[in-house]
Structure 1
Amino acid sequence: MYLKQVELFGFKSFADKTVLEFGPGIAAVVGPNGCGKSNLVDAVRWALGEQSVKALRGSRMEEIIFSGSETRKPLNYAEVSLTFANASPQLNIDFDEVTVSRRIYRSGESEYYLNKSLCRLKDITELFLDTGIGKELYSVVGQGRVEEIISSKPEDRREIFEEAAGILKYKLRKKEAQRRLEETRENLVRVEDLIFELQGQVEPLQEQAEIARRYRQLKQEADRLEKQLLTYRINSSRQELEKVEKALVAATEAISSFLHEGSRREEQIQELRRKQQQLMEEREKTEQQRSAVFHQLEKLEGELRVLQERESRFKEQLQENGRRVRQLEESAGRLSLAREQLQRELRDREEAAREEQKAVEGLQAGLERFENDRLLVEVEAQQERLLQVSARQEAVETSFKELSQQLERLESRRAALEKEAAELREQLAETEGRRRELQRELASAREEVEAAARAKEKAEQERAAREEELSRLSSQEQQWREEWQGVKAKLQLLREQEAGLSGYYRGVKEVLQARSSLKGIRGTVADVLAVEERYLRAVEAALGGALQYIITDTEQDARQAIDYLKKGRRGWATFLPLDTIHLSSPALDRFPEWRKTEGVIGRASELVKVEPAYRKIVDYLLGSIIICQDLESASRAARAIKYSCRVISLEGDVISPGGAIRGGSLPSRSAALPLGRRKEIEALEQEEERLNKRGLALGEQLAKARASLAGAERQLQLAGEELAKHQERAGDLQRALEGVAREEAFVGENREKNEAARAALEDEEAELVRRRQDLEQQRQDCRRERELILQELESKRDLYQQGLARKQELERELREAAVRLNSCQEQKSSLQEKIKQLDQERLRMEEEQQECRRAAQKIDEELLALAKNRDQANEKLEQQRQEAAAVMATLEAQKRELSILTAELNDLEEQERRWRSRLSRTEKRERQLALDQARLKAELEYRRQRYDELFGDSALLELEPDFDAGECERQMGILKEEMESLGEVNLGAIDELQRLQDRIGFLQEQQEDLKKGELSLHEVLAEIDREMEHHFMETFKVIEKNFQEVFQELFDGGQVFLKLSDPENLLESGIEIIAQPPGKKLQNISLLSTGEKVLTALALIFAILRYKPAPFYLLDEIESSLDDANLTRFTNYIEALSKETQFILITHRKRTMEAAHVLYGVTMPESGVSRLVSLKPKEKAS
């Protein structure tokens, strides 16, 4: 097995998709510091499950996602995939290639994939167990990891040995066993608590079960009668519901038809919106195409302008060359004429010199006797020198004049170049100004694009918020409607029950229904009481059946009502005449200390509100009853009054006179009781009022939400159009800026050429100035020498004139002849020098003419090429203009079509708003019909539910035709009074007792199982510890032996030892490294030099490799601190191991690169973005 491929996308500096292919052997990754090489190591560690942000050289996990650069936007996720060749196979998976991937999003969510299938981190960890591969293992080693191996605590260093020994899987098993042991102990404690608690509930349930059995006998007969009565009422409700449903069908069908029409219109609107969106997308594509076409058009126009400007420059240069050639030709002609003139003068001087030579020779013959005269010799010598100096001075003057003329010509050329430079500077300043202006406009346009994009995004968010708000309000409205219908139906049912006196005994109901014909009937006790909610259950328990006692004005009225019941066999009732009811001294008055008892609330009669006329009724019924907080305080109060009166808790527990206690778990208060039903009606009426207000508010909110959504959609459309407009302007400015940049580059190139020509001209001018300065010095030297000779001749002139008179004439003639001869000779030499200089100047001019002709030829070639390119550019420009016209036509057509479609959509949306208004009114009418149906259904459902609750899902009874519902109610009243005499009954006590006993038996069995499981887990933990100690010690010995061998190979000698810091505790003991390199003493690894530490750490890793080779090793500059000798040993060792193991090296060292079979380069051509370069073998060798 080996690492075959690493694929990165968006990981740190690797913004683009980057793939590294590896094979067996050695691969090296090189590159300059800071280019992102070590990010490859972080990527491998991260893909293998690394969770430590610090280990990945960051502060937050989101930092590994590419965060953007000056030219790139940040990415939203990063992904790394590692592909392993598994042909061996070494991984426990049936695939030849295994790909492990990890992906992270900016939200912090992380995903793992195994062969592109989603998996857990645990699956990845288990896959690489015992393979030497892992996020914290020695298969990935960097300088930091080597330093960690060297300087870490001995206890931390043992992790490497544990991985090599396969201890990690035992640790996982031990951790799981410890977790299960802790859960077992907690479960055992809970089971024991449950058993203790349940055993305390057995005895009270046994007493309740006996009462429940008697109650069941009475209940069965009462249920039979109630079943008949419910069957009768269900049939009546069903018939009435059928009539209402028939009336509702027509309305429902009308609504359905209306909704169908609305659905069809909604589909039309959605279709138009889809077409609108599609057309907007097409328009956006056309806009992009238009931008691209105009960008290309602008580019071609810019190129054409550049070509035209270059052509103009070349023509100007060609004209300048022509002028220069003509100037050179004219100068050459002048030079030729001057040379011919000088040649003629030279021939004349030569002839004159021969004549003068003859004259001198004749005079010299006459003066031979004066040859030995010293004064004459000196004067003649001085005269000779004077002639030579004069000739040399004349030659220097001639050369000085010619150099001055050359400097004037150079000055003319420099002025022309200066003028050209000034023009180029003006052009460059103009283009720079245009560029800065365009940059400012482009920056402003981009800000406008960003602002428009933000506005569009905000509009999209606003529309989404409005849609969400509308959906939320619609859901609330639906919920409100269901809640409102439920409350309405329940309230209607309770009102009907109240009006129909449901729940009253038959006799009470008969009297109340006949109260209009009977005299003095005030109503029941429940009618006159007002009780707070918290006291309701206690008062109901205190009054019981007395709530149905009938209040009359007088005793006579009560007797009249009783006669009414007897005559018609209409049941019985209890009456409370106001003129006879009175309360004797309550027994409570004998025990005043009961009020001081903790938990006492007060006398029951004091806790209800009643009109003054009925106060004595309340005192009669409740004056001897105490209400307490709970059963415990009720027991204290009962003992305080010596069990002489009833004491009742708020939960309804009753302590009767004499000490009997009735209590337990009561069912929720039934609305069938008159007092509770009235309370519930009042609560439902308040709830109905609240729901009505809420419904009105929801209707207004829904209308506003729909209007807001329509406005948000219009705003989004406007924002999209505004964004497209600003994007178009930004594109135009960008293209114009690119054209100016190209023009600026061309001007800059010409300016560089001008500066080069000026520099060459300055060099030539400097050389001529230097030569002229030399000639100026020669002129001054000649003047001083000539003046000196003349002074000497003047000083000797007097002595010379004192000579022989006859000799003077000869001397004068000889001197004149000699002067004339010397003058001729000097003129001859001067003419020869001038001819030579003219020849040189002519040669220089000919060379300059050739250079100008070559330049002109080159310019002609450039002009031909430019003309060809210009023609091609014109053709492309014309084609691009035609394409631009076609695109603009398409765009205009799309805009017209979009305008028409928008108008249609607005019309349909207006129709939809009117339709929704009509639908709202229609639904309002339909809701009233639905309420009637819901009320009847609720009533039927309530009665059917009541039937099912009492008798299960059995079918309704077949009633006799002469069934008497009144007689059935009377018999039920008798049975209920008998059942009430039993007090509170726990009907589930029998089954609950059996379930409790079964539960206790089951829990006792679980208790035994848990104890056995606890013992078994202790044995498993002990076995795991033994196996861990065995494997660790066996591995430790083998690695120590390998460590010593590898150490000696790498150091060419020396010795090293591994030492357990706590040999008595093998599971926790740390590992110390004691090393002795050649020539040093035995010492701890922390005392070695840096290179020795690194080489020792590498020796340890290679020792582990010998014991259990990993499929691949990724080494990050671990050899950087090694010297050349140690580096050679290191690379030789790796080359030997690479035959069996794959190595991937991050390195700077040349020797390591030479050992690599494959070489990758990492560069950063763009700031913050790494790029991979694969080097060929010959590139690697170089």
Structure 2
Amino acid sequence: MYLKALEIQGFKSFPDKTVLNFGEDITAIVGPNGSGKSNISDAIRWVMGEQSSKSLRGVKMEDVIFGGTETRNQMGFAQVTLVLDNTEHIFPSMEETEVAVTRRYYRSGESEYYINKQSVRLRDVNELFMDTGMGREGYSIIGQGRIDEILSQKSGDRREIFEEAAGISRFRYRKEETERKLERTEENLMRINDKIAELELQVEPLRAQAETAKQYLIYRDELRLLEISVWLENLETLKTNAIKLDTDLSLAREELKKANADLEALYAASEQFSARIHENDIAQEEKRAQLSELDAQVKEQESAVAVLQTGIAHNEENIARVEEELRSQSDRVGSMDAQIAQQRARIEELERSKNEVETALSELLKQAEELSKNAGEAASEAETLRAREALALSAAADSRAEVAALRSTLSEMDERESAIAAEQESGEAQLSETRKSAAENRKALESAQEEADAIRNIIAGHTMKMQGRIEREKETGEQHVSLTMEMNNLDSRIRLLGEMEKEYEGFNKAVRTVMQASERKALRGVRGPVANLMKVGKKYAVAIEIALGAGLQNIVVEREEDAKSAIQLLKQRDGGRATFLPLSSIRGEALRDARVQNEYGYVGLASELVEYDREYDGIFKNLLGRTVVVEDLDCGITISRRFSNAFRIVTLDGQVLNRGGSMTGGSISRSAGILSRAGELRELTARRGSLAEKLDLAAKAAEDAKRELAKARYELEVAQGQQRAAEDAVLKLQGDKNHYDLLLSSLRERLESLDTERETIARRRGEVKRVAEEKEALVLSQEKEAGELRAQAEKSLSGQSELLRSTSRLGDEIAEKKSVLAGYAAERETTEKSLASLEGLRAQMQGDEQSRRALIEQYRAASEQSQREIGTHETEIAALSGKMTEKRAELEALSKAKLALEAERSQSDRRGRELNENVLNVERSVSKLEQKRATSAMEEQQILDKLWENYELSHSAAQEQRIELESVAKASRRIGELKRAISGLGAVNVGAIEEFERVNTRYTYLTTQRDDVEKAKGELVGVIDSITSEMTVIFKEQFALIRESFQETFLELFGGGKATLELEDENDVLSCGIEIKVQPPGKALKTITLLSGGEKAFVAIALYFAILKVHPTPFCVMDEIEAALDEPNVVRVANYMRRITSKTQFIVITHRRGTMEAADVLYGVTMQERGVSKVLTINMNDMAKELNIKE
């Protein structure tokens, strides 16, 4: 046997399918580090069942799948197939000559194992290789990890290799399997003993309870027959009395029906009166609204007229005021024109006087010049002195003239100040009057603006109100549309459900056949299916449907004969089968045990949770009277146990606890939605009535919203008209304000100009006065100088006195003329300035006059327009007043008609009270009879309820169990005795009879089973002892052989020395550690842990070869185990492998040359593509032959 081939796909660095074929000799696998050589040995280890990802040099098992590269996607699975030659049948269980073991692993974590393409378990793979040396723990794959185990300081780590080599792995596996069975057997025995102990506590008490229960059943059966018979006797008596009550009640009801009809007719007439009065009220309200609207319009027109008249009066006042201002201004302009003319005449006069003085001065200057020539002959000093004297006198004359002019200016300033004071007084008075008028105007303007603002606020309120009305109108309109659509959808759904009800959709064929025949009058007495005769709320719908089950389609008929006819019809028409419930025979009794109502989770009796006509009371109590509805299953179980499963229980979600203890539950499958459909139809019909009311209210709300919107629009338009009038008033007053502002500004500017002029005069007066005083002082100085010069000249020229006198006189005249000219010039300057000021004020006043006249025209035009509008409004008022008169007359007529209607209704109400009293009397009579009949019916029903509640018997079924009684009294006494006897038994557990049988049977079974398990336990202990003994013998024998082989192999490989294997504990050969002691040539005997690294590896290889020699494995994979050896030792290992290839096939992963040279075939592993391993093959024998040929 040998390894024929290895197929790898998707495993680690081999994404592509790679097949390695092996011969029976030595195969070497070489390649650079990282190329994937060791992945081949990992693949062999993995396919043989290795489960440790760490042993496969990974973190998790998923790491064995090709993870992808930059150019290749990752793969979804890894698969390795190992093909072995089995011609020698080393695998006894396999008849085939070739065995292929396959392992496939997916990224999802799923693993698959195959032997010869047949799916197997991992356990099957392990068992296949067990004791062959090729298993997971075998020695067919030797890598650095295996070398480390041999070299480990823990001698116990080496045992697995020796056990596999000794061939006891299979025995150890059987022993471990038997020990696990023994452990499970002991656990089972413990559980059985616990159960037996528990049952022993129950058997005897249950035996006593069962005996009591049997006595109870005897009493109960006798009590049942007696109670049924007594109740039926009482029931017949009640029915006889009920016949007379029914006759009396029928007559009373007829009388009540007639009285009610009379009262209804009277009520209808009274409602007609009320409707007419209501219509009259509506008409009166409309007339009042119209009158109110007309009155508002009249007031609005009158208000407009009042506003216009006020505007006209105000305009006339303004015209009078402005005309008065014009007259006052005209007077001031006339006075001002006179002043201007006077100033201009004065300027012309000054010009003429100046020209005359200038002409006279020119003549005097010529004379002075002539005198100067005549004086030339005088002495030089005298001339000079005279000339200087003349000049001094001339200068003094000039100064005197200037002083005169300045004094004249001061006089004119005084006159101007007086004129300014008078003008300021007049201006202040006019300013005060104007301010008063402006203040009145401002007050009126503020009032008008406040009114306009108030109206704007009103408009804002109306706008918001109208916006709200628009939103309301939109909202109510949308709501009306929405409700209309909802009503349409509801009507469609009701029609659909109605048609389904009419066609009895969801009911079985038999029900449809019977109901359709009943509608065609082919059958009589058919009331309908149970589902159509009751109402149930949503909360209880599931519980009731489950409780009724197929009973929903039971058909209620009046008598047994009606049911018989319907059954005959179904037979004739092949219409199927149906269950019929005759009203005349079906009776039922509701559960009357009040204790159940106090239980937690109790909802109610099923028959009380549905609504139905009292006529069907027997039907529904028969179907549901002894069914209790509870909240949930836990509550139901508790209640069922407490009442000994005496009645049926249904939970709200449809789970059922039946009488006797059985339970039914799971998902809910309703009976074609029959009950739900009927409930939905009733609910939708009720909703339609409510929706119709909402729709009427929505329509009324929409109409009211439209009416309110129209009213809001009208109010807004009225307010907007008032706003326009207010804004016109504001505009007019604003124009008056502008006028007053302009006039006040003009007056203030004039007064400020006068103040400025007055201040200027005051400043100039001081200056002029100072200059005049300076000039006067200069005149005195100049005259003094002239006198001194004259004295000097007279002294020098005493003979020329006449000449001096003439010169003196001439000088005086020249000085006088210059002084006059200076005065003229100063006065003219002052006069021209005053003239310019007067002319500017005159032009300003002319502009004010034009503005005032334009304002007068504006006021007059506004008054004329207002007068025309007043005429229009008065016409409208007259028309509105006429309409109001008509409406008042109509309202008066409506009031009279209402009084007449109310009188008629009052008379009808009195008659109604009389008829109502009569109806009440008749109703009291009917009520008494109904009460008596109800009491009788209730007593009958109580008897029927007791029959059903206590024994689940209908009236007809009870009749079958009725017995003859000597007397009701005697039977009643016996019933009392039986009840006391039952009471004396105490709490009775009827289920104890069945429970005792069950528990006793279980106890007997478990006791037998315990004996069997104890026997099996003894057998397993014996098997374990036998396996242990056999394993000990085999291991000792094989260990001795391996030790001997190791001594020989060590001597052969090392070329000398000694080696031995020792058990650490001879008394525990199956568990103790194994010690390896060696003595290399030339060294002392020592344990393997004291050797060098190379020596340790060489010793481990020698041990493996020793094991292979004793128990050869078909193939052996060595993964770089010689890496730590020097070259001579590598050659020794290779030569030794060559010698034993006849018994073992070697596949060696190596880097060493000596190993490669010993190989017959070389597989080269490379990574031409990054991350992807490729395999190349070289047959060394063929290569050698080829080289020899070439040589």
Q: TM > 0.5 between the two?
A: no
Q: Structure 1 length as normaliser, TM-score? A: 0.41
Could you say which structure has the larger radius of gyration?
2
